Structure 1
């Protein structure tokens, strides 16, 4: 299985996808137009070991909702990601049984190695 969860309006996501040169071999899911299901999120969590690792603290709503001043538990991260797409750290690549989360250089390099 090769899948990417991304945001079509995110320039960083678009740049990374273009840089990787991936095509139809991947299933693409724009998380804004097709919400992540609980089953999909659970699959990501099982590959990454936690919902927290999938959670984006740079989302605008993180500060707007005062979440930076709260102690969040795994169930909180799950609830927040399911109810607001911007809380998913992106892009998320699933290649076979490996997951690659976020847009760091190190992560993008790891995706390049996995697809080559």
Structure 2
């Protein structure tokens, strides 16, 4: 399975995706086609935690006061499902491996796997 969860309005997602050959990838824009609980649970099973999928850079993180709270795994799952911007993106799934976010290291590992 090859899939990418991304946000079409995110310039970083667009840049990363434009640099890759995504033929054969299923693409899901999380703004227009929200992730399901099953999809999120599958990502968590691959990554180990919901926290690893949670973006603290989302604008709503501070505006909702989440930066002042102690969040647990149930909280991370709840907020990601309620608000798409809390999913760290892009998320690539390639044959059972997951690549989360846009750090240089993650993108390099993904590129190495695809080439």
Distance 2:49 2:29 in 1: 22
Return 5+ residue gaps in structure 2 as ranges.
Answer: none
Aligned-CA RMSD value: 0.6
Q: TM-score, normalised by structure 2?
A: 0.98
In structure 2, the partner of 1:27 is 26
The alignment of Structure 1 onto Structure 2 pairs a total of residues equal to 115
In structure 2, the partner of 1:77 is 76
- SS across alignment from 1:99: strand
In structure 2, the partner of 1:55 is 54
Distance 1:11 1:56 in 2: 16
Deviation track 1:71-92 (CA, whole Å, cap 9, x = no partner) reads 0000000000000000000000
Return 5+ residue gaps in structure 1 as ranges.
Answer: none
How far is the alpha carbon of 1:20 from its aligned partner? 1.6
Is the counterpart of residue 40 in structure 1 residue 19 in structure 2?
no
- SS across alignment from 1:50: coil
- SS across alignment from 1:89: coil
In structure 2, the partner of 1:4 is 4
In structure 2, the partner of 1:18 is 18
How far is the alpha carbon of 1:22 from its aligned partner? 2.0
How far is the alpha carbon of 1:42 from its aligned partner? 0.2
Deviation track 1:27-82 (CA, whole Å, cap 9, x = no partner) reads 00000000000000000000000000000000000000000000000000000000
